[in-house]
Amino acid sequence: MSDASRHRHRVHRPVRLGACFAAIAIALVACDLPAGAIDAPYPVNLHVDADATLVAIDAPGWYADTTGVFLCPTEPPGLPDPGDARIGWSPGRLCHDFGRHPSPGGLTIDLRLADLSDAERALFASADDWYLLLTDLDGERVTGAVRSRFKRPDGFAAS
């Protein structure tokens, strides 16, 4: 090994070690945060395929122990700030609640549109875009949520 390459190797070592220590420090701080402390957009591998009879959801990267699933004809409200307001939180009456589903290894589910009431069908039929809302549930507390907007399926009618 030449003197020049040996010198270059020594110069880069402190930079790499510093980057490793910084990454470890960030990970330790992040591990110390209470549940729901990070309320920012985060990417989820989410596939939504809808037709006139069902909305098929495949979210292999969604790792909530229990997921609340909602379908909304309008944009759902954002989550309240972390705290007691998230206990029992739901997006409201305009959204259809498709229930709670175990999802520790990802979420794959079909939402049957026949489950919508006549009044809900009329709201969904008049909306150009629909919203899927997945909530991460810890007991009754919503700790996080992901929403996705998609076009109303062709052929979906109010009746």
pLDDT exceeds 80 at position 61: yes
Q: What is the DSSP letter of 28?
A: H
Q: For position 102, what pLDDT does the model report?
A: 96
Kindly state the average pLDDT of the residues 30-38: 43
Q: For position 104, what pLDDT does the model report?
A: 92
Residue 13 burial by Cβ neighbours in a 10 Å radius (0-12, 13-18, 19+): exposed
Cα–Cα distance list, 6 to 1, 2, 17, 20, 146 (Å): 6, 6, 17, 21, 50
Is domain 47-151 in CATH 2.60.120, yes or no? Answer: no
Kindly state the average pLDDT of the residues 28-47: 57
Q: Identify which of 150, 148, 113 has the alpha carbon closest to the alpha carbon of residue 128.
A: 150
Q: For position 148, what pLDDT does the model report?
A: 93
pLDDT greater at residue 76 or residue 3: 76
| Residue percentage of the chain with pLDDT more than 70 | 74
Give 105-132 pLDDT, tens digit per residue. Answer: 999 999 999 999 999 999 999 999 999 9
Q: For position 86, what pLDDT does the model report?
A: 96
How far apart are the C-alpha atoms of 97 and 27, rounded to whole Å? Answer: 35
